[in-house]
Amino acid sequence: MMMMSSDKFALFLKINYNIVMHFKPFVFALLILFITPAVFAQEADNNNKTSDTQLSEPSELQIFRKAFPDTTFTATYSERLEDWLITVSCPTTPITTANPATSSKRREITFCWCEGRLIPEAELKRKSHYLPVLEEYPFGGELQSPSTYTKAQIEEYRQAGLASARKNEPFASQFLSDFMYYGSSRKSVEQHLARIKFLGHKVTVNEFIIEPLARVEKRILEERKTSTTIDTFLKGIDHMDGYNWREIRDVERKSLHGTAIAIDFLPIKMNKYMYWRWTKDILGDKWMLASLKSRWMPPYEIINIFEEEGFIWGGKWLIWDNMHFEYRPELIEFYKQTHTEKQ
């Protein structure tokens, strides 16, 4: 390899330096042309990642929107709280098929999402007291025979029935239902009650569940024409209980009878087990093992109709209440969406 002399090397550097400086504007233009778009692309990518991770509203809101089509759920992210604020807007009075026009009068409230609890900001310090609004409910199907319970299941029932556990355990947040059905105070809910006739019995309920109950009644009466089981059951009903401003026994929270979105069927003959507490008073710690035949309960045809119209049946709870139905369309929709996704 030939070595360049020091004089020639110095001349080489000078010539190349002059060339670079001569074409300096062109060189900088090339740098801007090729480097700047890459920088902006990286910045845009970072922004998109932030948007994907921080600005995607809770997917469960779609469940609420489908369960309550007349109510809007708007999500806004709060940097201060590092959580979503959910603004709920619903009609001041029910929108029915007889009055389908959208009500011009609406009311609003804003909750903190708080992992699905939907609680006021003032309750954030007590968030451990509340469970998410959406909870698992076994839509459809029939009850498992107590004779097939495992030891673990029996213990789960036993624990659920302990007064200490019932009083201290967290419970599903009711702030949303209290807002939608005016259940925050006795005075407010009693301004939205109606005395109706349902399946031949008078019962006081919240005006917002009159139409769902009407759909249930229409379907049950249609099925009754060809079902001796349904006919016999309905003839055996003495009366129904609806609105009752009270707390649940053993716990310090309001029953949904206090919001007037629940009804109880009371039979003429009280000769079977129908409520876990009354059964425990008789059978003691083996209350959960009472056979299905020894329990009073509505026919599954009636239970299915209620569920399909947005009601849940208390007979499917661990601490079962076979006379009880309550309007919870969000739980029915939650089951449908989550179990459809699993399939």
Quote the tokens at residue 112. 């903190």
Per-residue burial over 177-209, b if 16 or more Cβ lie within 10 Å, else e, is bbbbbbbbeeeebeebebebebbebebbbbbbb
| CB contact at 8 A, 319 and 302 | no
pLDDT tens digits for 87-107?
999 999 998 766 666 556 899
Q: What is the pLDDT, as a whole number, of residue 21?
A: 54
Give tens-digit pLDDT for 213-251: 999 999 999 999 999 999 999 999 999 999 999 877 777
Query: By C-alpha distance, which of 341, 301, 333 is closest to 134?
Result: 333
Share of the chain above pLDDT 70, in %: 80
* 263 in Cβ contact with 198 (< 8 Å): yes
* Number of Cβ atoms within 10 Å of the Cβ of 275: 20
pTM of the entire structure?
0.82
Read off the pLDDT of residues 163-197 as tens digits, 9 standing for 90 and up: 877 777 888 999 999 999 999 999 999 999 999 99
Q: Which two tokens stand for residue 311?
A: 């009601």
Phi, psi of 149 (to 5 degrees): -60, 140
130-131 and 171-172 strand pairing: parallel
Query: Residues of the chain with pLDDT > 90: what percent?
Result: 73
State the pairing for strand pair 262-267/130-131.
unpaired
* Residue 109 pLDDT greater than 50, yes or no: yes
Tokens of 270: 């009280």
Predicted confidence at residue 296, as pLDDT, reads 98
pLDDT at 336: 95
- 32 class by beta-carbon count within 10 Å (0-12 exposed, 13-18 middle, 19+ buried): exposed
According to the model, what pLDDT value does residue 46 have?
44
pLDDT at position 74: 98
Query: Distance of alpha carbon 97 from its chain centroid, rounded?
Result: 25
Question: What pLDDT is attached to residue 48?
Answer: 38
Residue 54 CB neighbour total at 10 angstroms: 11
DSSP per residue over 137-200, as a string?
Answer: ---SS-PPPGGG--HHHHHHHHHHT-HHHHHHS-EE--HHHHHHTTTTSHHHHGGGEEEEEETT
Q: Which of 248, 250, 249, 276 is nearest to 163 (CA)?
A: 250
Query: How far is Cα 170 from Cα 166, in angstroms, rounded to an integer?
Result: 9
Q: What is the pLDDT of residues 280-296, one digit of tens each?
A: 999 999 999 999 999 99
Mean pLDDT, residues 314-326: 97
| Mean confidence (pLDDT) of the chain | 86
pLDDT band at 314 (very low <50, low <70, confident <90, very high): very high
Reported as a pLDDT band with limits 50, 70 and 90, residue 212 is very high
pLDDT at site 95: 85
Which DSSP string do the residues of 88-103 spell out, in sequence order? EEEESS---SSS-SPP
Mean pLDDT of 48-71: 80
Which H or E run includes 317?
none
Q: How far is the C-alpha of 285 from the C-alpha of 155, rounded, in Å? A: 10
Average pLDDT, integer, range 305-311: 98
- Counting Cα atoms < 13 Å in the Cβ hemisphere of 90 gives 23
Section 68-74 average pLDDT? 97
What pLDDT is attached to residue 231? 98
Q: With 50 as the cut, is the pLDDT of residue 36 above it?
A: no
277, pLDDT greater than 90: yes
- Residue 22 pLDDT exceeds 60: no
